[in-house]
Amino acid sequence: MTTDRYFSRAWMVLLLGAACGGGGGDNSEAGTTGGGSSSGGAGVSSSGDEQVTTGDIASSTSDEPGTGSSSSGGDEGPVPPEAYERWLKVELPGTVCGNNSQYKFFVNYKEGAKDLMIMLEPGGACWDYDGCSGKSDLGAAHPDGIPDDLMKDSGQSANISPLIRRDVEGPTQDFNMVYVPYCTGDVHTGNNVIVYKDPMGVGADLEFHHAGHTNVLAIAEYLRKQFPATDRLFLTGCSAGGAGSLINYYFFRNTIDAQRGYMMDDSGPIFPSDGYSLPLHTKIRESWNVDSIFKELPPEYPIADDFGILNRHLADMFPEDRLSTVFFQRDYNYSRYSYENFYDANLKEDIMNYWASDTKLLVNLYKTRDNLGFYLPYWRALNDSHCVSIASYGDTDIEELGLNLGDYIDELFNDEVPVGRYMESVQPNEDD
């Protein structure tokens, strides 16, 4: 694959694998609300080339133009954006990163657009002291908070995927775009404040805010008011963002008024729990308080012992929506998070065998619903075959079918054809 010129190996390690810091966000600027708290009204401040909206989404009375609706408790309509085709920073009270710094996300408006894409950032996961503090190579991104310049045009996150680049022709080029950074270690899903202790007994206790769910709910409400007449809603993300897109689809879809809904979980599959993923599911259930989130789903769609049933539940909740998962069959990144901490047999082929077995379970589940599709190429060298939609669509081909990921996304948006299901045949020794 010919990678984008903005892509570096160091950057991929930061965003797609371990927690390497991420340049902690500076909350000393005027207009920010450290720690997720707010006691004032809304205001607009500048941060480099980006703007920030602060203040309580439910009570702000500011009339200044900002990045979105500052709402005064009603549905008075969206606030015109400060600029089009530029990433604008938004901060909402009560939203925090794992270290309790102010959370922030970014919106890129396209004048006249009626379609909306929400992309959730990748970046590992954590459920212990080493992972959440950034000391482990299997940790989570941005342990020090979200940098204000995350989406600078010359930066790396702004170029993570052709799906959020307006200079790359593609199905989402003219969408309104939202980028949801990741700093809570919980695949955008947690609902817990937990204290992790240093197993070596050296470092101070780590109070960590697995606040992904709280952040998502606030973002969804903000977007509901800012984009009240959405035609197509597309939720996606890779790795932690992929899992987050699946888990949070109900909350975004149920909040934002959109005519049609689409989802692409890229390399963050939620496998059935009756396979090798059960120990992982058990662990995150405890650390992230996942059960409290599942209880917010409609009562006719319960989730008890099997997390994987969420895939089928979403298909049944939104039978007209088109939902998909994409990942490489030899993904040696997400698979390590899924199994390495939970099994003694951890050679690469052990991990790949667990992954293959769980993939079979998921494929069989997806085949039970007409609106569930998948695109599963075999392998590529980039990033240990992790995250299909990053950089470009190069080397995402299923050559025997003459398809690449771009073709698949085009098909996903085509309501006139069935949702595609494609799985490349085994390519022996391809990744030796």
Q: What's the CATH number where 169 sits? A: 3.40.50
Given a contact cutoff of 8 angstroms between Cβ atoms, the answer to whether 415 and 36 are in contact is no
In whole angstroms, give the CA distance from residue 263 to residue 178: 14
The residue-averaged pLDDT of 190-200 equals 95
Q: Which residue has the tokens 């003694």?
A: 344
The residue-averaged pLDDT of 100-106 equals 98
- Residue 347 domain-assigned (yes or no): yes
- What pLDDT score was predicted for residue 55? 32
- Residue 259 domain-assigned (yes or no): yes
- Domain total of the chain: 1
Encode pLDDT of 59-82 as tens digits.
222 223 334 333 334 567 899 999
- Residue 262 domain-assigned (yes or no): yes
In whole angstroms, give the CA distance from residue 188 to residue 290: 11
pTM of the model: 0.85
- What pLDDT score was predicted for residue 307? 96
The residue-averaged pLDDT of 89-115 equals 97
Residue span of the structural domain in which 365 resides = 9-31+114-423
- What pLDDT score was predicted for residue 107? 98
343 or 43, which is more confident: 343
In whole angstroms, give the CA distance from residue 210 to residue 187: 9
- Residue 216 domain-assigned (yes or no): yes
Encode pLDDT of 308-345 as tens digits.
999 999 999 999 999 999 999 999 999 999 999 999 99
Q: Could you tell me which residues come within 8 angstroms of residue 260 by beta carbon, excluding any fewer than 6 positions away? A: 231, 232, 233, 320, 321, 415
Task: Burial-class residue 2 by CB neighbours within 10 Å (0-12, 13-18, 19+).
Answer: exposed
Q: How far is CA 332 from CA 46, 87, 337, in A?
A: 41, 32, 9
- Residue 69 domain-assigned (yes or no): no
Name the token pair of 405. 């990921």
Q: Could you tell me which residues come within 8 angstroms of residue 50 by beta carbon, excluding any fewer than 6 positions away? A: 86, 87, 88, 89, 106, 148, 149, 151, 152
- Among 49-58, 166-175, 246-255, 265-274, which is the least confidently predicted range? 49-58
- Residue 58 domain-assigned (yes or no): no
14 or 310, which is more confident: 310
| pLDDT beyond 60 at 239 | yes
The residue-averaged pLDDT of 218-228 equals 97
DSSP state of 124: B
- Residue 94 domain-assigned (yes or no): no
Query: How does residue 40 score in pLDDT terms, banded at 50, 70 and 90?
Result: very low
CA nearest neighbour of 53 among 82, 90, 84: 90
DSSP state of 384: G
- What pLDDT score was predicted for residue 74? 52
- Residue 365 domain-assigned (yes or no): yes
Q: Could you tell me which residues come within 8 angstroms of residue 286 by beta carbon, excluding any fewer than 6 positions away? A: 127
